[in-house]
Amino acid sequence: MAEEQSSGKKLTIGIPRETTPNERRVALTPDGVKKYTGSGVTVLVERDAGKDAFVSDAAFELAGARVVDDAASIYKNADLVLKVQKPSKEEIDLMPEGSKLIAFLSPMFDLDLVKHLQDRKITALSMDAIPRTTRAQYMDALSSQATVAGYKAVLIAAYELPKFFPLLTTAAGNIPPAKVLVIGAGVAGLMAIGTARRLGAVVEAYDARSVVKEQIESLGGKYIEIDTGADLAGSGGYAKEATDEILRRQQEGLADRAAKSDVIITTAAVPGRPAPRLIPASTVERMPAGSVIVDLAAETGGNCELTEKGKIVHRHGVTIVGTLNLPSTLAVHSSQMYSKNLQNLLALMIDKDGQFTLDMDDDIIANTVITLGGAVVHEGTKQRLNPATTPA
């Protein structure tokens, strides 16, 4: 099954300004734009779309884009809209039937959005549905953005902590290094371990998949073993959801470590599921006064019971950071990386003559398309919409 752009018609790509609060990234940077304008594609960019990522309208124009003032005209005229965050319902309503959209859509969580895209017959691809395969790693925006988040989480912790990270030997006395505990050693966690080590902290890390032990050690971290009676390694490098009993054992195993930590960075996640609750309030109570938790799982409920989504709170003398969308705070590099991921994905769809083809026989495309021709085609999302059909 393949869906094609009507032959001979050159593509029009639209890059609107992001409208989600605090979103500073831009989906495509000028080097990407140049690639498409070079093959005769029209690229419409909303004025100031790159402003918060320090990309000027002039740079887009130099790359051959047409800068327009009116976001509505982009949604109405583009065959393919490229975004970082999901568009609003109003923005989707402007898009013609059959037009295409690529963004982070979190389809498993935002079923209303999926139904709206289905009703409007938009062909929507979600950057968070790209499979975790070797061939797809160049398009893996979840990984590139998690790299940014893991790095920034450590910088936030260092900023909030009323202590040094490195060991210091000074005339004013000796200072021991900060103790950092990283929970969840996937892409963000490994970046956090490396960053905390570079700042001179002593780092321990835990993950429910014991296969990451070597990776933690190669970055200079100490792997924590907790006997939970099960290894949660699932398919595609992801973890399986922990049972209540496993969670209880993890909480117990982590509590003593947490009581000795100056900083905890939590990144534990299971795709499409709420974040595992690994740090209960009783563990926070045991942490040293002035210590810091940065909870990268705040968006999906938090790994810490006391995390408040989007806020920095102080509980039992501990600063708990639930700030959302850390990649946006490094907008220059996160945009560059996202844009590169997007170009690598688009290379499967746009040929050198600027023609668009959606090859549903390609496994990356088949996994990434959420809605097509008025139908929901993404398996995980279909199951969420019709739980009765979920396989046992």
Shortest Cβ 357–ligand NAD spacing (Å):
24
Catalytic residue among 79, 140, 207, 295: 140
146 binds ligand NAD (CB under 6 A): yes
Among all chains, which residue has been given the structure tokens 């918060």? 52
Q: Does residue 202 contact residue 275 with C-beta atoms inside 8 Å?
A: no
In 174-243, which residue ranges form alpha helices assigned H by DSSP?
A: 187-198, 213-218
Q: Residue from 40, 237, 290, 317 that binds ligand NAD (CB under 6 A)?
A: 237
Nearer to ligand NAD, 239 or 321 (CB): 239
Backbone angles phi, psi at 56, to 5 degrees: -85, 160
**248-253 — which CB contacts under 8 Å span 24+ positions?**
250/206, 250/208, 250/226, 250/276, 250/278, 251/277, 251/278, 251/279, 251/280, 251/283, 253/206, 253/224, 253/226, 253/227, 253/228
Nearer to ligand NAD, 134 or 389 (CB): 134
Residue type, 268: A
Shortest Cβ 32–ligand NAD spacing (Å):
21
273 binds ligand NAD (CB under 6 A): no
Q: Are strands 292-295 and 318-321 parallel, antiparallel or unpaired?
A: parallel
Shortest Cβ 358–ligand NAD spacing (Å):
22
137 part of the active site: yes
Nearer to ligand NAD, 133 or 344 (CB): 133
5 part of the active site: no
Q: Residue from 6, 134, 170, 174 that binds ligand NAD (CB under 6 A)?
A: 134
Q: What share of the chain is helix, strand, coil (3-state, %, to 5)?
A: 40, 20, 40
57 part of the active site: no
Q: Residue from 129, 158, 269, 304 that binds ligand NAD (CB under 6 A)?
A: 269
Task: Compute how many residues bind ligand NAD; rule: CB under 6 A.
Answer: 32
Shortest Cβ 267–ligand NAD spacing (Å):
5
Q: Does residue 220 contact residue 179 with C-beta atoms inside 8 Å?
A: no
What are the DSSP calls for 240-270, one per residue? PPPPHHHHHHHHHHHHHHHHT-SEEEE----
140 part of the active site: yes
Q: Residue from 11, 127, 142, 199 that binds ligand NAD (CB under 6 A)?
A: 142
Q: Does residue 37 contact residue 63 with C-beta atoms inside 8 Å?
A: yes
**Catalytic (active-site) positions:** 132, 137, 140, 143, 238
Q: What is the contact surface with ligand NAD in residues (CB under 6 A)?
A: 132-134, 136-137, 140, 142-143, 146, 183-189, 207-209, 232, 237-239, 242, 250, 267-271, 276, 278
